[in-house]
Amino acid sequence: MADLKMRIAKRAAKEIHNGDVVNLGIGLPTMIPKFVPEDIHVTIHSENGFAGLGAAVEHEAHIDTDIIDSSGSYVTTAPHVKHFDSADSFGIIRGGHVDATILGAMEVAENGDIANWIIPGGKVAGMGGAMDLVVGAKKVIVAMIHTQKGKPKIVERCALPLTAEKCVNMIITEMGVMEIRPEGVVVTELHPDYTKEDIQNATACKLIFAPDLKVMEEE
Amino acid sequence: MAINKVITADEAVAGVEDGMTIMVGGFLATGSPEILMDALVRKGVKHLTVIANDGGLAEGQPAIGPGKTARGVGKLLENHMVDHIIASHLGVNPRLNEQFAAGTLTYTLVPQGTLAEKIRASAYGLGGVITPTGVGTPMEFEKDELGRDKITIEIDGKKYLLERPLHADYAFVRASVCDHFGNFMCRKTTKNFNYPMAGAADHTIVAAEQVVNVGEVDPDMFDISGVLVDYVVEGEPKWQI
């Protein structure tokens, strides 16, 4: 599973372009920065209050307790960092100044609806900044394992309460890369470990295979 | 000569009564005014409604270490002083779900950006905020923090939610540096909800790490005007790991 997540993170890193501002969700997306080439300059936005996330703090002596990321971990910042309050931070998000948000999901529907914040009857967690991020970011990329232990997560309609409607642009899984287009979910890359039938069988909506279907990088 | 707003933490919370609504700055307790939370615990007020991003941290959580006391709103939860919490994230402090399950605490979830703007709208005199966030989600279909239906508005063919302002009896915020008049600034990621909450309540109290005389530092250093601040409390400690 760790290798599959690495494959997904590595592919997602290719969606980051020079000069982009990106916001990364918890879990798998936090693995992405290490796969971004050094000549690609990326500004990572952390919704609790800054643009310009650096690396994790390696030694306790270097911790500045006034700097945490949105998961509450102590972090360092990039030289061009700017800190701001929560209203400004979400203004930057809703205002379309974040080029891409890359995050996980429980369900994605073929029309781009996403559900990733609550399972009714489970523990109460809350949406945090997720609803603002998927509505505001210019591009919404879901990076996730294709199924939940075999149960499809890419579906015709989400059964779970939505995080937002019609906002997902791209889905990257261990099986392939999909784009949400007006005609539906279009597979643009397929990983060589899987056939068209495999990816369709792991998906609960009809997949369209791009005429120029590419091979997802082997890993 | 500007007035001096410095008082003690106990004086600052003297007017807080059972059943009041308070706002508390901070994000997972980073930037929360600890000495004001301590003063509220000493006073022992109950049945509070708390407006905050989250429930702070519980006693001994990994982020603060075993045996360490709770932080931020966590102190109020640890002492069962809260009846209702209005927040964007309630998954970190385990006291929250324990008290939801026990039926002693209820909650209203608000998306983080909407929460900040609802608070800011109250401080800066707006009748509400029109946001695309939450359209098509339970935020559109569920009642708000006061049991009111949500209002949707269509502008130029796009649907928005009208979110009403959030006002409190008291706003408790934390500053890194504050002068005697209440002009203040917060370092790095401690700004979070402390800036929008200043002025969003009948009484705004700032707990500061460092209190300086008026004119002692360049006014450009401050981000928030003391006009929004009623009282200043000295002695907020630096966060200890």
Determine what percent of chain A is predicted with pLDDT higher than 90: 93
* Residue A56 pLDDT class (50, 70, 90 cuts): confident
User: Which residues, in sequence order, are CB contacts of B65 under 8 Å at separation 6+?
Assistant: B241
Residue A57 has pLDDT above 90, yes or no: no
Q: B237 CB near a chain A CB, below 8 Å? A: no
Residues B143 and B202 in one domain: no
Q: What is the pLDDT of residues A129-181, one digit of tens each?
A: 999 999 999 999 999 999 999 999 999 999 999 999 999 999 999 999 999 99
Tell if the CB–CB gap between A50 and B138 is shorter than 8 Å: no
CATH number where B95 lies: 3.40.1080.10
Residue B239 has pLDDT above 90, yes or no: no
Mean per-residue pLDDT of chain A: 96
Query: Do B41 and B74 have their domain in common?
Result: yes
Of B54, B91, B137, the CB nearest to A161: B137
Averaged pLDDT, A40-51? 97
pLDDT of residue A60: 85
> For residue B34, is it within any domain?
yes
pLDDT in tens, B187-224: 999 999 999 999 999 999 999 999 999 999 999 999 99
User: So where are chain A's domains?
Assistant: 2-215
Q: Are B173 and B148 in a shared domain? A: no
Indicate the Cα dihedral angle B44, B47, B51, B52, nearest 10°: 50
Mean pLDDT of chain B: 96
Same domain, B141 and B192: no
Query: Do B181 and B152 belong together in one domain?
Result: no
| Total number of domains in chain B | 2
Q: What is the pLDDT of residue B98?
A: 97
Tokens 């009484």 sit on residue: B203
Tell me the chain A residues in contact with residue B111 when contact means C-beta distances shorter than 8 Å.
Answer: 127-132
Q: Clarify whether residues B160 and B178 are in a common domain.
A: no
Q: How many CB atoms lie within 10 A of CB A212?
A: 6
Confidence of residue B28 (pLDDT cuts 50, 70, 90): very high
* pLDDT above 70 coverage of chain B, percent: 100
The yes-or-no verdict on residue A43 having pLDDT over 90 is yes
Asked whether residue B147 falls in the same domain as residue B55, the answer is no
In a domain, B123, yes or no: no
Question: Residues B35-39: contacts with CB within 8 Å, 24+ apart?
Answer: B35/B9, B35/B207, B35/B233, B35/B235, B35/B236, B35/B237, B36/B9, B36/B12, B36/B172, B36/B205, B36/B207, B36/B233, B37/B72, B37/B73, B37/B75, B37/B76, B37/B172, B38/B9, B38/B75, B39/B9, B39/B10, B39/B12, B39/B13
DSSP string, B25-46: --BTTBT--HHHHHHHHHHT--
| CB pairs < 8 Å spanning A and B | 154
Residues B54 and B154 in one domain: no
Does residue B65 carry a pLDDT above 80? Answer: no
- Please compute the mean of the pLDDT values over residues A175-192 and round it to a whole number: 98
Residues B141 and B186 in one domain: no
Span A83-110, mean pLDDT? 98
Same domain for B155 and B228?
A: no
CATH 3.40.50.720: does it fit domain A2-215?
no
Residue A219, pLDDT score? 67
Predicted ipTM > 0.90: yes
Do B84 and B176 belong together in one domain?
Answer: yes
**Residue A161 near residue A116, CB atoms below 8 Å:** no
Provide the residue range defining the domain that includes B149.
129-164
A47 included as an active-site residue: yes
| pLDDT for residue A106 | 97
Q: How confident is the model at residue B19 (pLDDT cuts 50, 70, 90)?
A: very high
Residues of B (167-206) whose Cβ lies below 8 Å from A: 176, 186-196
pTM of this structure = 0.97
Helix orientation angle between A86-94 and B112-123, rounded to the nearest 10 degrees: 120
The SS3 call for residue A195 is coil
Cα–Cα distance measured from residue A153 to residue A143, given in angstroms and rounded to the nearest whole number: 12
For the cut 80, the answer to whether the pLDDT of residue B67 exceeds it is: no
- Are B27 and B146 in the same domain? no
Residue B1 has pLDDT above 70, yes or no: no
- The alpha carbon of residue A218 and the mean position of all alpha carbons in its chain are separated, in whole angstroms, by 20
What integer pLDDT is reported at residue B68 of this predicted model? Answer: 84
- The answer to whether the Cβ–Cβ distance between B87 and A125 falls below 8 Å is no
Contact partners, residue B95, CB within 8 Å, separation at least 6: B55, B58, B70, B74, B77, B78
Q: Residue A218 above 90 pLDDT?
A: no
pLDDT tops 70 at residue B23: yes
**Cβ-based neighbours of B45, under 8 Å, separated by 6 or more:** B13, B16, B17, B18, B20, B81
pLDDT (average), residues B99-114: 98
CA B73 to CA B50: how far, in whole Å?
8
Identify the H or E element spanning B2.
none
